[in-house]
Structure 1
Amino acid sequence: MNRSYRGMSAEQRLADRRERLMAAAYTLYAKPGFTATTIERLCAEARISNRAFYECFGGREELLRAIHEQCVEESMAAITKALQDAPQTLDGQIKSGIRAYIEFTTADWRRARIMHLEVRRSGDVLTASRQRAVEMFARLIEEATIAYEPPPANLHLLSLAMVGAIQELLIEWVLADPAPSVEELVQVALLVFRRSFRTVDDGV
């Protein structure tokens, strides 16, 4: 029998605990970081017991993967919408996609740190998740540019290189003091993309 407690079913309580753990990890895994965050600290922040933690996640690593994948999904959704609304030109697609990703990522410092700093500091925990994300973003670049003029090099490799360039710019934004402005990041990324894809600013 599925008993309710304080008006919540067992499934609702589990979902509530999972959501609270995700919220706690989103902040703590960003700072002080994954390696410095214990299960006890996560539970204290989420106001649940250690036992309840293991009803939601198999460990800190599984929770980190869930947070990272959520960040990636939200970022992909933001870029996809921007590309759909963008002018249907090569430069229009590049400009809208880059701005959407950089602005969305930097809008929340926790998202930026998890996606571009903790993803590397966590060792092997996010290796597979990170690789999937890189492939997804590279494929998005390919799909957004393939309908236009032929690229000057292997499109898949060029797209991977563009993903790497933006990652390094965002790591600089996270770590530098003072940090470069978001507009500086966008303009540098645009310069790299335009030169790589042999396009010029068409004013859009």
Structure 2
Amino acid sequence: MSAEQRLADRRERLMTAAYTLYAKPGFAATTIERLCAEARISNRAFYECFGSQEELLQEVHERCVEESLAVVTKAVQEAPNTLEGRATAGIRAYIKFATADWRRARIMHVEVRRSGEVLALSRQRAVDSFAGLVQEAVADFPQAAPLKRRLVALGVVGALQELLIEWLLTDDQPEIDELVDVAVHIFVRSLGNPATD
């Protein structure tokens, strides 16, 4: 491999190690030494790939967000052209994708909060992106109440986050379909068509 390919390979191995270790035991409990041992690279090589653990965490989080946005966007585009059809398709796609790998769900919904300021900007960008996607998905439909769509979209995104935290952390774990049903109910009641409400 060329030097460039070796660097790319090390970066990817570190990303994979971080994906698991930052999910559990968590960002605060993971040392560079442990990351490097998991990735099978030297500690010195870490700094050839990333400037800090914070930078690595940001990249892992942003990859999770980008992959999730792509899945949800595709689902909404292929959904029936109704408010409930788009809401159900987008929410189901997001919840199924997030819960398909517990590490993704933990990084996006638990570690993003536990990391404090490290992911504050990255988290805000993610929330803005998902809220924008919600607004775009419902732009063609009449609104049940004269509320600012951006604020309602932010509320829906927040509700989804809390539902996934409940799924991750509670002993009495709710079923995935139950999470979808509750999230769709909140979404449709918040932004529903007055003709069907």
User: Shift of the alpha carbon at 1:195?
Assistant: 1.1
User: Shift of the alpha carbon at 1:151?
Assistant: 4.8
Q: Is 2:148 the counterpart of 1:172?
A: no
Cα distance in 2 for partners of 1:198, 1:41 equals 49
Q: Is 2:196 the counterpart of 1:196?
A: no
TM-score (normalizing by structure 1): 0.93
Cα distance in 1 for partners of 2:60, 2:108 equals 9
Find the structure with the greater CA-based Rg: 1
Cα distance in 2 for partners of 1:15, 1:63 equals 14
* More divergent stretch after superposition (56-65 vs 149-158): 149-158
Q: In the TM superposition, what are the counterparts of 1:153-168 in structure 2 within 5 Å?
A: 153-168=147-162
User: Shift of the alpha carbon at 1:150?
Assistant: 2.7
**Please, which runs of 5 or more residues in structure 2 have no aligned partner?**
none
42, 52, 65: which is aligned to 2:45?
A: 52
Which residue identity lines up with residue 29 of structure 2 in the other structure? A
Which residue identity lines up with residue 94 of structure 1 in the other structure? A
Task: Supply the RMSD in Å over aligned alpha carbons.
Answer: 1.2
5, 13, 19: which is aligned to 2:6?
A: 13
Q: Which residue of 1 aligns with 2:75?
A: 82
Contact 1:17/1:56 (8 A) holds in 2: yes
Q: Is 2:90 the counterpart of 1:67?
A: no
Q: Which residue of 1 aligns with 2:107?
A: 114
Which residue identity lines up with residue 27 of structure 1 in the other structure? T
Query: Which digits, 9 at most, give the CA deviation of each residue in 1:8-36, with x for residues without a partner?
Result: 00000000000000000000000000000
Q: Is 2:124 the counterpart of 1:124?
A: no
Contact 1:151/1:197 (8 A) holds in 2: yes
**How many aligned residue pairs are there?**
194
The sequence identity of aligned pairs, in percent, is 67
Which residue identity lines up with residue 175 of structure 2 in the other structure? S
Cα distance in 2 for partners of 1:66, 1:42 equals 15
Contact 2:54/2:118 (8 A) holds in 1: yes
Which residue identity lines up with residue 172 of structure 1 in the other structure? E
Which residue identity lines up with residue 185 of structure 1 in the other structure? L
Cα distance in 2 for partners of 1:29, 1:64 equals 8
Cα distance in 2 for partners of 1:185, 1:90 equals 18
Query: Which digits, 9 at most, give the CA deviation of each residue in 1:49-93, with x for residues without a partner?
Result: 111000000111000000000000000000011011101111111
Which residue identity lines up with residue 97 of structure 2 in the other structure? F
TM-score (normalizing by structure 2): 0.96
User: Shift of the alpha carbon at 1:119?
Assistant: 0.1
Contact 1:91/1:199 (8 A) holds in 2: no
Contact 2:32/2:43 (8 A) holds in 1: yes
Cα distance in 1 for partners of 2:27, 2:120 equals 14
**Please, which runs of 5 or more residues in structure 1 have no aligned partner?**
1-7
Which residue identity lines up with residue 172 of structure 2 in the other structure? P
**After the TM superposition, which parts of structure 1 deviate over 6 Å for at least 4 consecutive aligned residues?**
none
